[in-house]
Amino acid sequence: MKEHEHERESVEAELQGLRPAKLPENVVARLSAARPQALARSPIRAALPSATLGWRWWRWLAPATATICAAAFWWLAQNRESAEDIGASSAGNATPLRADEVAIDRELVGSFDAVATLPDGEHVRVRVRGWMDEVVLRDTAQGVAIHQRTPRVEVVPVSFETY
Q: According to DSSP H, which parts of 43-95 are helical? A: 43-47, 49-53, 55-91
**Residue 1, pLDDT above cutoff 70:** no
User: What's the CA gap between 122 and 116, in Å, rounded?
Assistant: 8
Residues 66-73, mean pLDDT to the nearest whole number? 82
| 93: CB partners within 8 A, 6+ apart | none
pLDDT digits (tens, 9 = 90+) for 29-58: 888 888 766 655 555 555 555 555 555 666
| Comparison of pLDDT for 119 and 86, the residue scoring more | 119
- Which residues are CB-neighbours of 31 under 8 A, at least 6 positions away? none
The reply to whether the predicted model has a pTM over 0.85 is no
Quote the mean pLDDT of the chain: 77
In this prediction, residue 133 carries a pLDDT of 92
**What pLDDT digit, counting tens, does each position of 100-114 carry?**
889 999 999 999 888
Supply the pLDDT for residue 41. 55
Q: Categorize the per-residue pLDDT at 134 as very low, low, confident or very high, splitting at 50, 70 and 90.
A: very high
